Amino acid sequence: MRRIDHRKWLLGSLGVILLVAVGSFALAFQLLWGTYLDEQRDRLIGLVHSQARLIDAVASFDLSHSQTDHPQGAVGATLSQIAEAYRDYKGFGDTGEFVFGRRDGDHIIYLLSQRNFDLRRPEPIAMDSGLGIPMRLALEKKEGVVLALDYRGVKVLAAYSFIPALNAGFVAKIDYSEVRAPFVRIGLLASGGLLFIVVLAGGVFRRISAPLLRNHELSLSLRKLSHALEQSPLIVFITDLAGRIEYVNPKFTEVTGYSSKEAVGQTPALIKSDLTPQDIHKSLWETILRGETWRSELADKRKDGTLFWASVLIAPVRDENGVVSHFVAIHEDISARKQVEAQMVEALRQTELANRAKSELIANMSHELRTPLNAIIGFSSMMENETWGPLGHDKYREYVKDISWSGEHLLSLINDILDVSAIEAGKSELHEEEVSFGEVASACLRLIGPRAKKGAVRVVYEPGEDVNLFVDARRMKQVLLNLLSNAVKFTPEGGDVILNAAIPQDGGFVFRVVDTGIGMDEAGIEKALTPFGQVDSDLNRKHEGTGLGLPLTIKLVEMHSGRLGIASALGQGTTVEVILPKERVVRG
């Protein structure tokens, strides 16, 4: 025999009753509203017909007998009589209104209106404005009822007719909001009654169904809770107020090695390790006995004596009266995370040792490498200049030049490496002062001149307005010299290198180095911006570099709170732009 689901049956019955009630209410309301609206239409059209015929008859009489009796002629006499007749007329409804109007070119002129809510005559409106639709239809010599906007832009129910004797339109109208107001009130009352029925029906349904469903829902909840605990990836056990274990889930057995039979009746000391201080357990009990939740990380012990780390949460369980009856403990095995953390700590320690060794190596290189190189460069210079007499052979002079050039090149490489390392280590400081950019540019152009002349590259300086900057003069020269050196290096014979400067609207300072050299694609730009990265080019091989000039330049610009941008294309040259903030510009 099939078992009946009482809840579904009761709910279905209630739904059918409510659906029938709502449908009946909506149908009845719709029929009543249609009847009421038809009555309002008939009332308005009857009122307009009777008033229009009466007014037309009066106007016809005035046209025949009162052309000279009134200052404004027969029309004025008719309107005066209408105004006098309507003077004490209370109208129909709060918003009911009679309106007379004529057409004057492209506009509707209102001659007379009678209403309770506003005694002023309506302003003229354009025929094609979308307003005054009932009057526009009347002036088109039509007759009927319409739901449309009046001269105020308000939606109205209006009856309209044309009065031939006055050559005017006549409209009787009432605001649509007033027409439907009674039905809105009825609808609200009916909705309230329907809502009351729904609430009452819901209460009856709940009262009837509660006893049938309570046990079933309780059973489902207990089953879900049991499944959640049994399948939880976390260790869960429950104790009484004395700390005796009453329940452990399968994960407890899987991780600790203790079966449920072995654990129930014991205390959590079963998995306590010697690594947990007594103060921790004291704090734990003080917290949960206050009814609060305790969280920490503990080293637990398995049945075989091995340890594992756990993230622990212990919370009180309250009964229906809010009284603590049990404690639930959740342990998450975090041994793998702890191992990773230990590895990270060791890696950090090794990194710190490596950084210390790097700093010591840089300090030693600064002295041990620069000192002999300075000696080599100095002595080779003396030999090249034959300070102590002739060398005796041209080959010796050639070798001496190679020695001097190699020493200077190696010293430049070491200086760049040391500069980059010092900036990365945060040990480089700016020695700021007020300097003229023009002087910095002139000094760099003098230094780069011989190389540009040798490569047949024309260097042009477009100074613009001379500006004083608050910068580290030596570092700013280093920035500009690196950019000019790169531009000359990668520009073929007959090419141009242009240096220009400007003050943008934001008040900062911008200088650009533009060349007509070989240019770079996106991959080339990315490579040039990496330490020791060099664009592969025959021109580059003529002037060996360290590959640190551009990365070092960017770091020096950033130390001045500036930005460096590169725009380049293969075969079309390169533009490097350095932007310094307005704080670096010294105002006069």
| DSSP-derived secondary structure letter, 90 | -
CATH number, position 507: 3.30.565.10
- Which domain-ending residue is among 333, 359, 377? 333
Q: How far is CA 149 from the centre of its chain?
A: 43
Q: Which residue has the higher pLDDT, 541 or 258?
A: 258
State whether 314 and 353 are in the same domain: no
Count structural domains, the chain: 4
State whether 245 and 107 are in the same domain: no
Q: Please report whether residue 215 resides in a domain.
A: no
Q: Please report whether residue 74 resides in a domain.
A: yes
State whether 344 and 319 are in the same domain: no
**Residue found by looking up tokens 């911008």 in the block:** 510
Which range scores top for mean pLDDT: 31-35, 496-500, 538-542, 543-547?
A: 496-500
Q: Please report whether residue 480 resides in a domain.
A: yes
Q: Please report whether residue 347 resides in a domain.
A: yes
The pLDDT of residue 588 = 60
Q: Please state, in angstroms and rounded to a whole number, the distance separating the CA atoms of residues 140 and 405.
A: 104
Q: Please report whether residue 210 resides in a domain.
A: no
- Which domain-ending residue is among 307, 333, 359? 333
State whether 464 and 563 are in the same domain: yes
Residues in the chain: 588
Whether the CB-CB separation of 403 and 376 falls below 8 Å is answered with yes
H or E element at residue 99: strand 97-104
Q: Could you give the percent of the chain with pLDDT greater than 90?
A: 14
Exposure letters 502-528 (e unless 16+ CB within 10 A, then b): eeeeeebbbbbbbbbbbbbeeebbebb
State whether 23 and 149 are in the same domain: yes
State whether 296 and 389 are in the same domain: no
CB within 8 Å of 489: residues ≥ 6 apart: 451, 455, 539, 540, 542, 543, 545
The pLDDT of residue 482 = 87
- Tokens read off for 60: 């016809």
State whether 407 and 447 are in the same domain: no
State whether 464 and 515 are in the same domain: yes
Residue pLDDT, tens place only, 67-89: 556 565 666 667 766 766 666 66
H or E element at residue 103: strand 97-104
Q: Please report whether residue 97 resides in a domain.
A: yes
Half-sphere exposure of 142 (CA within 13 A, CB side): 11
State whether 69 and 151 are in the same domain: yes
Of the listed ranges 43-47, 200-204, 207-211, the least confidently predicted one is 207-211
Residue pLDDT, tens place only, 88-104: 666 667 788 888 888 88
The pLDDT of residue 158 = 86
State whether 266 and 142 are in the same domain: no
Q: Please report whether residue 225 resides in a domain.
A: no
CATH number, position 37: 3.30.450.20
- Which domain-ending residue is among 422, 439, 456? 422
The pLDDT of residue 527 = 83
Q: Which residue has the higher pLDDT, 471 or 534?
A: 471
Q: Please report whether residue 579 resides in a domain.
A: yes
State whether 486 and 410 are in the same domain: no
Range(s) of the domain holding residue 307: 233-333
Q: Which residue has the higher pLDDT, 568 or 529?
A: 568
Residue pLDDT, tens place only, 448-457: 888 899 889 9
Query: Is the pLDDT score of 1 beyond 50?
Result: no
State whether 398 and 543 are in the same domain: no
Q: Please state, in angstroms and rounded to a whole number, the distance separating the CA atoms of residues 558 and 578.
A: 10
Whether the CB-CB separation of 440 and 480 falls below 8 Å is answered with yes
